[in-house]
A and B are shown apart, each in its own frame.
Chain A
Amino acid sequence: MTGIVILCVALVAATAFGLWRRATDGRMHDVRPVPDADDAPPGQLHIADRGEHGGDVLTAAALGTSVLGSRATFVQFSSAFCAPCRATRVVLADVAATNPGVVHVDIDAESHLDLVRALHIRRTPTVLVLDARGVIRQRASGATRKADALHALDALNEP
């Protein structure tokens, strides 16, 4: 009897969880209010620099990449055991290739646990959208769809 109850609970809970994830995966959320412009040049700020700029700021050095995008940078956190990371990688590489000034950086979460903890990354893929100054403007967990990525780019231009 206990077994049948556990079976029902497991199926109901898994269905609810699956539907919730399906509805929310890949959806971009605004991270912070837009900070004041022109207070710092790109690539000069510290990792997860909070406060006066109004949002967390990531530098090219912190991400281990040569340069941030002049328009936007998609920072993707991936792990080895993550099937949707691959689909997200394909989508974001395509968006970076077809939109000038957009860069895609894929970070192995396991080997950057300091960054993972500082940015409260709990799942892979998690995608951060940085503006030209490296300020984290939007964030999404789960597989990113192309439409959501393009919409995030448009949203960077909004005041």
Chain B
Amino acid sequence: MIFIYIGLALFILGFLLILIDNNAKNWEETYGYIIKSELNQSYEHNIEEGGGYYTYEANIVYEYFIPKTNHKYESSKIFPVGGSLRSTNKQEHLSIKNKLTLGKKVIVYYNPYNHKKACLVVGKNFHLKILLFLGLTIMGIAAGIQIKETGQNPEKTFIDKIEVIK
């Protein structure tokens, strides 16, 4: 039963994050410059099975300017929500790093109520949808197991159903 709640929690979290991501389409637009562009690679050890695998992350930092105020901020976020995009997909991070070379001028979206919050892409974080589907899947599997357990003891169910005449 607990897994149904875990699945539900993931589903709701995914839904809320997608809403926030979409809501960021209303953020203000400005420009910024790439001041750091690296591809970080780290080796994840698999202690149980031995060996391991590499994960990658495009480490991008940009500074952006808020019009009228002339304030300058820095950010490393690509999407408005979600933390690190670290994954085993080297190509994805390499293409980001190759596109955002040092000094490139980019469009930056910033939160008009909190200028420190900014990103480079709004409303297109497809990684969040995986969270939604993962929640649904966990709920489905948990519900399936629950239903299976109901029919786990057919002999007992059969005996319980016999109507005795005293």
A and B form one complex: no
B interface residues with partner A (beta carbon < 8 Å) = none
